[in-house]
Amino acid sequence: MTKSLERRLSDAKADLIAIDAALVRGAAQLPGTIQTQIQAVSACASDIDHWITLAHAREAARRMLDDLEGAADTDDQVPFGSVRVKFQHARLIGVQAYLAASWALADRIAGMAGRVLCTPQAGSNPIKPPQLNAPFLNADRTKQVAASIFDSVPRIFGWPIGISYALRNHFIHDGGQLAGANFFHGFNASSRFKISDQGWANLEEKAQTYSVLPVNQRIPAGWPPALQDDLRVLLDVCETQMDDALGVLAGTATKTLRSHVAFLIGED
C-alpha cells in the first residue's frame, strides 16, 4: 500500500466530513430518510481519531514482544510493569493484547465500510454489525457484499487475514493451548516465540476453515521463510497485509459514498 493505514484513515475522515457538508448543501434535494442513512456512515468521522489510537495501542503491544526473551533473568522472569513475571505469562499476555487491539481496529473499520459496501441485512444490522471476517471473508459474502468487490479482499488478502483471525481466536478464546497441544514450542525464554509443529499445523488448518488458501495473498507474497521459527515475524507480515486490506475497504467505502452524494445533489 502506498499510504499507511493511519493516513488512509485520515483521508477517510476527510471524506466523511465532506459528505456531511454536502448533505447540508443538498438538504432540500434529498428525502430525510436518505440523509439519515448516509449520516449513519458519516458519523463515523468522530470515531476515526480513536481508531488511530487503537493502531498506536497495537504498536505498543507489539513492541512489548521485542526481545522479551532477552530480558529474562536466571529464574526465567521478565519485567512486566512494576513487577517481574514468568516469561511464558508475559508472552501470552503480550500476544493477547496485540491480537485484541488488532482485531478491535479491524472490526471498527470493517463496520464502517460495511455500511456502504454490504447489503442492508449485512451492513446495517445493529445486533451483528459487519466485521472483517464476516461478511468480507466468509463463504456467505456472495450474498452480503457488493457484487463488484465481494471476492477482492479474500482473494488478495485472505490468507494473512485468516491466519491472524485464527491466532486471535486461539489466543483470546483458547489461551494458546487446546486438546493437549501448546501453540509455542516451549515455556521458558530459551523457546522464544517459536511455534510448535502441532501449533503450526492447527493454525494452518483453522485458517482454511475461513474459505481462504495460502495463495490468497498480496503479490508478490511477503512471507519470509521459516515463519514457524518466530510468531513475531508472522504477526508483522499479517499486519502489513491486513492494513492494506483495511485501507482498501475504508478508502473504497468513503470515496464511493462521497461521489454518490455529489451525484445525488448535482455537484458531480
**pTM attached to this predicted model:** 0.95
198-217: per-residue pLDDT in tens? 999 999 999 999 999 999 99
Alpha-carbon span 122 to 264, nearest angstrom:
24
Length of the chain counted residue by residue: 268
**What cell does 113 get?**
465500510
pLDDT (0 to 100) of residue 218: 85
Residue 128 DSSP code: S
pLDDT (0 to 100) of residue 226: 84
Give the rounded percent of residues in the chain with a pLDDT score beyond 90: 88
pLDDT (0 to 100) of residue 219: 73
pLDDT (0 to 100) of residue 204: 95
Is the pLDDT at 2 greater than 90, yes or no?
no
If you average pLDDT over residues 79-97, what whole number do you get? 97
If you average pLDDT over residues 41-69, what whole number do you get? 98
Cell 475497504, residue?
Answer: 249
